[in-house]
Structure 1
Amino acid sequence: MYNELQQRYIKEIKTNKEQSEAIKKLTIKIHELEHNLQEQRQRIEQLELKKVSWKTSAVSGKRSRTAEGGTSHRDISEKKESCCSKYLELLLKEIKKLKKENGKLSAEKRALKNELAGLDKDFFEEVEDLKHAVQESLKLNNQYEKCLKQISVMYGLPFTAHL
């Protein structure tokens, strides 16, 4: 019973550490993705400013088409915008997914902490006392076994180790 309790305690501590590390990694990844999102938003703003400046130059009679049937600057910027917006959508989906996973792990971590909170200092002292008692009983059992071997040799009786 003591061993089961100790194994469960160790397992919960290990699980708690693993979840803490997972939460830490997810938080870092969320921050990285948010940073990437911010950079992409700035890039979109810059592209929009270029688009606005291009529109004003096209209105004043400067280049609107590169050649007959060619691609205009507007078409190119629209393609870039659609690509960036798709990338931003993917980033937002990834961030939402990571935040959801982070929330689940945080809730599980809180539940484990609450469960461990029920185990007070006296409990752990009792576990240590039990651990010491088990070690002492093992020593005593070994001494008894040696004595039994000596007695069985003295009286010529067969000694079976499984006893």
Structure 2
Amino acid sequence: MYNDLQKRYLKEIKTNQEQREAIKNLTSKIHELELNLQEQRQRVERLECKKVSWKTSGASGKRNRTPEEVASHRDLSKKNDESCCCKYLELLLKEIKKLKKENVKLSAERRALKNELAGLDKDFFEEIEDLKRAVQESVKLNYQYEKCLKQISIMYGLPFMAHL
């Protein structure tokens, strides 16, 4: 019983370590994805600024546009660019949300396992040792009872196996 308990304890420790590692990996992955998302947003902003400046400077050679025309043209091109970028950003956000949910789930499971392991302190193992000694003593006592029972069976001429 003690060996089984110790195996279970070691298994729980191993599981706990694996989950800690998974949480650590997921946290770093979330961080990387958030940084990537931030970089992509900055890139989109820079591209939009370059696109606006390029279109306004390139178009000025042909004719002067009014600020309203530039703004409307910018809005149309912005919508097209945003649709591609938004799809990519949405995918990144979905992935981040999924990883955060998994992180929360693993954190909760880790806390539950940690709480369960908290009950396995030094006193617990001492109690297991005491129980182990008590079982060994009861096995010895049972052996002595069986020996006495055999002697009594022989004395009275009864078959010993009939009583078992």
TM-score (structure 2 length as normaliser): 0.63
CA RMSD, Structure 1 to Structure 2 (Å): 3.3
The answer for the alignment partner of 1:114 in structure 2 is: 115
List runs of 5+ in structure 1 lacking aligned partners.
Answer: 65-72, 133-163
Deviation at 1:93, TM superposition (A): 0.3
Structure with the largest fraction of helix: 2
- Mapped to 2, the partners of 1:44 and 1:87 lie a distance apart of 11
Q: 2:17 aligned with 1:17, yes or no?
A: yes
**Match of 2:3?**
3
In the alignment, residue 92 of structure 1 is paired with which amino acid?
L
Q: Which moved more, 1:73-82 or 1:116-125?
A: 73-82
**DSSP 3-state at the match of 1:11:** helix
Aligned identity (percent) is 80
* TM-score, normalised via structure 1 length: 0.63
Distance in 2 (CA, whole Å) between partners of 1:63 and 1:115 is: 76
**Deviation at residue 130 of structure 1 after TM alignment:** 7.8
Report 1:14-163 matches (<5 A): 14-57=14-57, 60-62=60-62, 79-126=80-127
For residues 28 and 47 of structure 2, the distance between their equivalents in structure 1, rounded to whole angstroms, comes to: 28
Equivalent residue for 1:136?
A: none
Q: Point out the structure with max Rg over C-alpha.
A: 2
What letter matches 2:11 in structure 1?
K
Cα contact 2:44–2:85 (8 A) shared by 1? yes
Structure with more relative contact order (C-alpha pairs < 8 Å, separation 6 or more)? 2
- C-alpha offsets along residues 21-40 of structure 1, whole Å, 9 cap, x if unaligned? 11011011101111110110
Deviations along 1:110-130, one digit per CA (max 9) or x if unpaired, are 001111112222224555788
Task: Could you tell me which runs of 5 or more consecutive residues in structure 2 were left unpaired when the two chains were aligned.
Answer: 65-72, 134-164
1-side partners of 2:14 and 2:129: how far apart?
19
